[in-house]
């Protein structure tokens, strides 16, 4: 197996296609030559700041050209990417930065107050860089990202790298605090079938014969695995990554961008993006020309069959690719759909290295009706950073073969296809974001009027699941629900806050102290009627 490294691939692409466009956002266009030189300068800046191979860099960024530029610079300097959910606040942020041992934080200007507040509690941080809009006063306690990309030597670094260099992908997982999944470059390159070349230059030469490169619109955040993988794959294939101008997702801007840029590929996350696109197309006073799109792919959240079919009515030349995977293991299973075809929600074909095990690691017999855990071998991560116990559980060795078992349950049909059942825990997946109920319950109980709380997911037509809660009051009677919600939003990212809270006087736990989730859901339904 080739010992490929993402940085070497990116350098070879830039050398082979210097005049192609690498990045587009609004009126901003950067050629591969510019992208290469800017990221070389940024890599040198980070090295000069004292970062060494393996140092961790926190990416506290929304989607923008800064994200792939910083990523390429870290790859080139052999630094480790640490994704940071930009919706996190206060203690959530501190956990990620401290758990990852970050030595550098790169952040959007809008997040400067959050970072500055935490720096005293992060003694390992050597340097910070701000991605500035130029609209506010210069921050004196950190470096400027744009200056780091434009000042100094833009020539290649001449660093020997390894396919064993790592990047981290933090995931909420199904239990506990977020954990960093450790991916070696060479294993991730195998996963996304990026190249079977023996070296980076051979990879770039092969691209000369590969036809038109992808023009990739990345809608989902790069701080999640789907957006990250989509952007990195497009760049390493010599293509162009396109970002929307607005920091959030705007369906009309998205449609205009697809039409005017002649986008060929789109990365999104299931129903959370499909629903507003379909609604915008239904309201539109004119027809959009979306014929350039060849591929729309999703991973990380439910993608309902009816929304897939509705999308294809507007994207006549597109194939839809629904990937079942996680930060801990990709290519578990996939589903493809084209216009005129029908499908069912949650039905997938297994990946090339996929098996379905019972809890005692026996193969599930197709058509047996017995639920099983989806597992994959081959190109998988090393495990979780600083968590050997959880690594042993999620990455077990069975008959001498090491597997990734992220926790997805399914049925194996007689034809070998898989019907997804979901995660075997109470983890809530809302629009691709994983919410750990106990964390929200704990935050609710910080309010003086709340004695106890049960948090769970309820079906939602757009997000797949929405966060719901039943809160037991200390004193029966009226409660200031707006104040409870406001207090929650100072402790939790907005997507973790319940869409609806039902307040009750009933006890929510059994005598043994365990939460009675079934009772809580019954109470929620009764108070919602």
Instruction: Please state the separation of Cα 137 from the chain's center in Å.
Output: 32
Separation between Cα atoms, residue 215 and residue 293, nearest integer Å: 9
> What is the number of helices (H) and of strands (E) in the chain?
16, 28
Q: What is the pTM of this model?
A: 0.86
Cα separation, 288 vs 294, whole angstroms: 15
At 319, which helix (H) or strand (E)? strand 319-326
**Percentage with pLDDT > 70 across the chain:** 96
Q: Which residues pair with 231 in a beta bridge?
A: none
The predicted pLDDT at position 387 comes to 95
- The residue-averaged pLDDT of 505-525 equals 82
CB 406 within 8 A of CB 396: no
Helix, strand or coil for residue 108? Answer: strand
Q: What is the pLDDT of residue 512?
A: 47
Domain spans of the chain, in order of start:
6-22+29-192, 355-423, 428-528
* Residue range 82-131, pLDDT digits in tens: 999 998 988 889 999 999 999 999 999 999 999 999 999 999 999 999 99
- 421 by DSSP, 3-state: which? strand
Of 99-108, 295-304, 363-372, 393-402, the one with minimum mean pLDDT is 295-304
Quickly list DSSP for 455-491.
EEEEEETTTEEEEEEEEEESSSS---HHHHHHHHHTT
Q: How big is the CA angle at 189 (ends 422 and 4), to the nearest 5 degrees?
A: 155
State the pLDDT at residue 1: 47
- What class does CATH assign to 355-423? mainly beta
Instruction: Name the fold adopted by 6-22+29-192.
Output: Rossmann fold (3.40.50)
Q: How confident is the model at residue 428 (pLDDT cuts 50, 70, 90)?
A: confident
Who's near 277: CB < 8 A, 6+ residues apart?
251, 254, 255, 311
pLDDT of residue 234: 96
Query: Each residue of 164-203: pLDDT tens digit?
Result: 999 999 986 444 688 999 999 999 999 886 767 788 888 9
What letter would DSSP give residue 366?
T
Kindly report, residue by residue over 212-254, the tens digit of the pLDDT.
Answer: 899 999 999 999 999 999 999 999 999 999 999 988 899 999 9
Read off the tokens for 49.
Answer: 């700041």
Cα 301 from Cα 395, distance rounded (Å): 22
Among 34, 75, 11, smallest CA distance to 203 is for: 11
Query: Which of 241, 207, 235, 239 lies closest to 10 in space, CA to CA?
Result: 235
Helices (H), 319-436: 388-394
CA 503 to chain centre: 33
* DSSP labels, 35-70: HHHHHHHHHHHHHHTT--TT-EEEEE--SSTHHHHH
Domain 428-528 classified CATH 3.30.300.30? yes
462 vs 484: CA distance, rounded Å: 25
* Terminal alpha carbon distance of the chain: 59
* The pair of three-digit structure tokens given for residue 114, joined into one six-digit string: 């959050």
What is the per-residue pLDDT for 342? 87
pLDDT tens across 134-154, in order?
665 678 899 999 999 999 999
Q: What's the rounded Cα separation, in Å, for the pair 127 and 121?
A: 14
């Amino acid at each position: 197996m080739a010992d490929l490294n993402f940085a070497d691939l990116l350098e070879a692409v830039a050398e082979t296609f210097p005049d192609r466009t690498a990045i587009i956002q609004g009126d901003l266009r950067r050629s591969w030559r510019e992208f290469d030189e800017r990221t070389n300068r940024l890599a040198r800046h980070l090295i000069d700041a004292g970062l060494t191979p393996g140092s961790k860099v926190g990416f506290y960024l929304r989607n923008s050209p800064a994200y792939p530029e910083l990523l390429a610079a870290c790859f080139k300097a052999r630094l480790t990417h640490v994704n940071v959910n930009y919706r996190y606040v206060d203690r959530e942020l501190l956990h990620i930065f401290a758990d990852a041992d970050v030595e550098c934080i790169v952040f959007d200007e809008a997040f400067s107050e959050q970072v500055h507040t935490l720096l005293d509690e992060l003694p390992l941080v050597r340097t910070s860089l701000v991605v500035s809009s130029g609209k506010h006063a210069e921050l004196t306690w950190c470096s400027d990202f744009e200056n780091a990309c434009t000042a100094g030597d833009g020539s290649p670094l001449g660093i020997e790298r390894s396919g064993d260099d790592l990047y981290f992908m933090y995931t909420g997982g199904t239990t506990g605090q977020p954990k960093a999944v450790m991916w070696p470059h060479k294993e991730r390159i195998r996963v996304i079938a990026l190249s079977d070349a023996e070296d980076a230059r051979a990879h770039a030469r092969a691209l000369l014969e590969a036809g038109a490169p992808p023009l990739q619109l990345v809608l989902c955040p790069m701080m999640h695995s789907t957006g990250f993988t989509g952007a990195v794959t497009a760049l390493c294939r010599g293509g162009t990554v396109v970002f929307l101008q607005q920091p959030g997702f705007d369906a009309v801007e998205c449609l205009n961008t697809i039409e005017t840029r002649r986008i060929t590929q789109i990365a999104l996350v299931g129903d959370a993006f499909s629903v507003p696109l379909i609604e915008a197309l239904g309201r539109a006073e004119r027809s959009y020309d979306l014929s350039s799109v060849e591929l729309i792919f999703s991973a990380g959240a439910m993608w309902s069959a009816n929304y897939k079919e509705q999308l294809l009515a507007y994207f006549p030349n597109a194939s839809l690719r629904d990937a079942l995977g996680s930060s801990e293991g990709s290519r578990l299973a996939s589903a493809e759909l084209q216009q005129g075809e029908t499908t069912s929600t949650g039905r997938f074909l297994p990946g090339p290295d996929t098996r379905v095990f019972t809890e005692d690691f026996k193969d599930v017999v197709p058509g047996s009706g017995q639920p099983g855990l989806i597992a994959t071998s081959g190109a998988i991560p090393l495990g979780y950073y600083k968590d050997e116990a959880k690594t042993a559980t999620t990455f077990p060795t069975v008959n001498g073969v090491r597997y990734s078992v992220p926790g997805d349950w399914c049925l194996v049909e007689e034809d070998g296809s898989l019907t997804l059942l979901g995660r075997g825990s109470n983890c809530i997946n809302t629009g691709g974001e994983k919410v750990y109920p106990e964390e929200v319950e704990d935050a609710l109980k910080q309010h003086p009027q709340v004695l106890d709380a049960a948090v769970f997911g309820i079906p939602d037509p757009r997000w797949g699941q929405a966060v719901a809660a039943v809160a037991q009051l200390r004193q029966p009677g009226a409660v200031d629900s707006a104040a409870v919600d406001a207090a929650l939003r100072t402790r939790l990212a907005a997507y973790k806050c319940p869409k609806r809270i039902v307040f009750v006087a009933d006890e929510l736990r059994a005598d043994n102290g365990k939460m009675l989730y079934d009772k809580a859901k019954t109470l929620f339904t009764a108070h919602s009627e």
